[in-house]
Structure 1
Amino acid sequence: MTVRSYTSTSQWARAVNLVQMKPLLYCFVVVLLIAASLLVGATGVGLTSLLTDPDAREIFLISRLPRSAALVLAGASSAIMGAIVQRLVSNHFVEPSTMGTVDSAGFGLLAGLLFLPDAPPMWRMVIAAAGAWLGTAMFLLLLRSVPMRSPLMPPLLGIAFGGIIGSATSFIAYRFDLMQAMSSWMTADFSVVLSGRYELLYVAGGITLLGWFAADRFTLAGMGDDIARGLGLNPTMVLAIGITIVAVVTGAIVVTVGFIPFLGLIVPNLIARWRGDNLRRSLPLVAWLGAVMTLACDIFGRLIFHPFDLPIGVTMGVLGAVIFLWLLLKRFG
């Protein structure tokens, strides 16, 4: 009995130590990638040069540090937005880019460029967020009017809906000679991030925290209107709050760095397969994996054709497509 008790106690102690070490391991991975992001680039910036070279310190403060902060904020926020909309729609194959939200934000951004060409970034974010809100609301109304015979119906409907909005945006941009401007705004690229040009992402990070606090309500709202009302929630109000959070964060990311493809789709699915569908418990891991994947893809894009930068929209697009196909095959295979 004593031996068994000692064995059980030692096994429990090892399990507790392993659980306590996991957060440290997660933090170590993020810190390691941030350090690599700070030091990797066309211009070599090392610890010695930071101490002795004023130009290296200027590059570090103006470019490298803002870029790394933007990568973490945009990656974590994009992944969490994907998790939130998947709970609201009760479908694992939707995210802002597969439900028309990103295309609607682009349409709002185009409207801002046409009518308020000299507007500051904050106003452009507000206009893009308004377009994203309207587009997302239209998609959800459209979704409720279509019978769901397959889990692939919502993303297919969203892609078609977003394609219509994107085509209208491209047509108007072409007529007013704004195609190049729209392309630069909508392509995810962190090489343009400099001090003074990424601070809107802090707004996105703050709004994302509000989404984390409301995670339980989003989970209940996604279970159906009757269940939500039975538990004392107003499903329409919760849905409106969710749409607003997703729209504001999407608008801030699109205006600052362009939206990152597939990130909000694959990260929540990978975490759900690993830790289950409890949104509040999984959101810290979703944010962690979103930041890790964004940092890793950006570092790879800086190294593969060094000293030139490959936009993260390309590297994340390839990786995300491969992981998405794997998820589809695992689900329907």
Structure 2
Amino acid sequence: MVSLLGLLLVLAIVSLLVGVSDISFLDILSGESNDLKLLTLSRIPRTVALIITGIGISVCGLIMQQMTQNKFVSPTTAGTLDAVELGILGSLIFLPQENIYLKVFFALGITFFASLIFIKIADSIRYRSVIFIPIVGLLFGGIINSITTFFAFQFNIVQDVGAGQDSIGAWMMGDFSGILKGNYEPIFLCLPAVVITYWFANKFTVVGMGQDFAKNLGLNFRAVLNIGLFCVSLTVSSIVVTVGTIPFLGLVIPNIVSLFLGDNLRKTLPYTAIVGACFLLLCDVISRLLIFPFEVPIGMTVGLIGGVLFLILLLRKK
């Protein structure tokens, strides 16, 4: 744990220093105002957002895998990210002038409902094939994405990132380049959900064993299930509304951690959170240095690396 925290600190410092404009801590200590403004207005908010996103998405993936007892379930393979995009589209249509917090809670409602549907589907097919559930989840997400695309064109909210903040396409690809002080604060909404997740860790594991098993242990199956889905929905909604979709992060990190530490949720959850934050910081540094001084959206970098790792996991399970 100490070594992981040290790695997280090193990557965070590198994230603060990497960019088009060079920052020197010596200049900051000597009172250089421009470097201090750049650090406080852009670099620190971006690094904090990266760490929170890595923690939130990784923990969500771990919880979803525990509740479905399937290692290939995550926000990416359960339609959760697609549901958030549909919720964002709905907020752009019905709440075009409202603040970003209302957009988060509007997306939260859609995501929570979609998560209930997916859990119902997964519960009915869980014992047939471990690979079949994520495939169904991807199909489920594809249907939601098709609905989102249809209504985006119907209401002339085209998928064009350059069209401005009120374009649904602005949330289709994760990107931290626009994170500044004053526009990233909704991401902190996921922190209480992470704390609740750790508090209910053992109960989520019991829920994954099935409704009859949970009731035999005196656990309110439906209540705990809804708490877990609510935490996942709130975390993913606040992150996607703020920085966009980050694919495969919640799928790959919990699997990597479980390879070394097993499946004890309370034990692996802190490690999963830290490894997720380190992985996202590393991908962000790569995205900024890959075609320097330009920047590749981090969603593309994580999607590429995560997709390859997902394929390796599939072949390994086979």
Aligned position for 2:140? 161
Secondary structure of the 1:88 match is helix
Is the aligned partner of 1:63 residue 2:63? no
Aligned position for 1:116? 95
Residue from 309, 322, 332 that aligns with 2:295: 309
Q: Amino acid of the residue matched to residue 175 of structure 1?
A: Q
TM-score, L = length of structure 1: 0.91
> Cα RMSD over matched residues?
1.1
Is the aligned partner of 1:137 residue 2:113? no
Q: How does 1:107-256 map to 2 (within 5 A)?
A: 107-146=86-125, 148-178=127-157, 179-180=159-160, 181-256=167-242
Residue 218 of structure 1, CA deviation: 0.2
Aligned position for 1:288? 274
Query: 172-181 vs 282-291, which deviates more?
Result: 172-181
Aligned position for 1:12? none
Secondary structure of the 2:97 match is coil
Residue from 25, 29, 32 that aligns with 2:10: 32
Percent identity over the alignment?
Answer: 37
**For the Cα contact (< 8 Å) 1:75–1:294, is it kept in 2?**
yes
Residue 236 of structure 1, CA deviation: 1.0
Partner Cα separation in structure 1 for residue 109 and residue 268 of structure 2: 29
**For the Cα contact (< 8 Å) 1:302–1:309, is it kept in 2?**
yes
Q: Amino acid of the residue matched to residue 78 of structure 1?
A: I
Q: How does 1:88-107 map to 2 (within 5 A)?
A: 88-107=67-86
Aligned position for 1:49? 27
**For the Cα contact (< 8 Å) 1:105–1:130, is it kept in 2?**
no
Is the aligned partner of 1:272 residue 2:258? yes
Partner Cα separation in structure 2 for residue 66 and residue 140 of structure 1: 35
Residue 226 of structure 1, CA deviation: 1.6
Unaligned runs of 5+ in 2: 161-166
Q: Amino acid of the residue matched to residue 34 of structure 1?
A: A
| Rg (Cα) greater in structure | 1
Q: Amino acid of the residue matched to residue 207 of structure 1?
A: A
Q: Amino acid of the residue matched to residue 115 of structure 1?
A: F
Distance verdict in 2 for CA 1:244–1:147, change over 3 Å = closer
Deviation string 1:44-102 (CA, Å, 9 cap, x unpaired) is: 11113323421111111000000000000000110000000000111000101211111
**For the Cα contact (< 8 Å) 1:108–1:129, is it kept in 2?**
yes
Query: 236-245 vs 322-331, which deviates more?
Result: 322-331
Residue 146 of structure 1, CA deviation: 4.0
Q: Amino acid of the residue matched to residue 240 of structure 2?
A: V
TM-score, L = length of structure 2: 0.95
Unaligned runs of 5+ in 1: 1-22
Partner Cα separation in structure 1 for residue 227 and residue 72 of structure 2: 21
Partner Cα separation in structure 1 for residue 22 and residue 192 of structure 2: 33
Residue 147 of structure 1, CA deviation: 6.6
Q: Amino acid of the residue matched to residue 14 of structure 2?
A: A
Residue 267 of structure 1, CA deviation: 0.4
Partner Cα separation in structure 2 for residue 35 and residue 67 of structure 1: 12
Deviation string 1:286-325 (CA, Å, 9 cap, x unpaired) is: 0011000000000011011111111111111111011111
Secondary structure of the 1:72 match is helix
Secondary structure of the 1:86 match is helix
Q: Amino acid of the residue matched to residue 9 of structure 2?
A: V
Query: 148-157 vs 263-272, which deviates more?
Result: 148-157
Is the aligned partner of 1:323 residue 2:309? yes
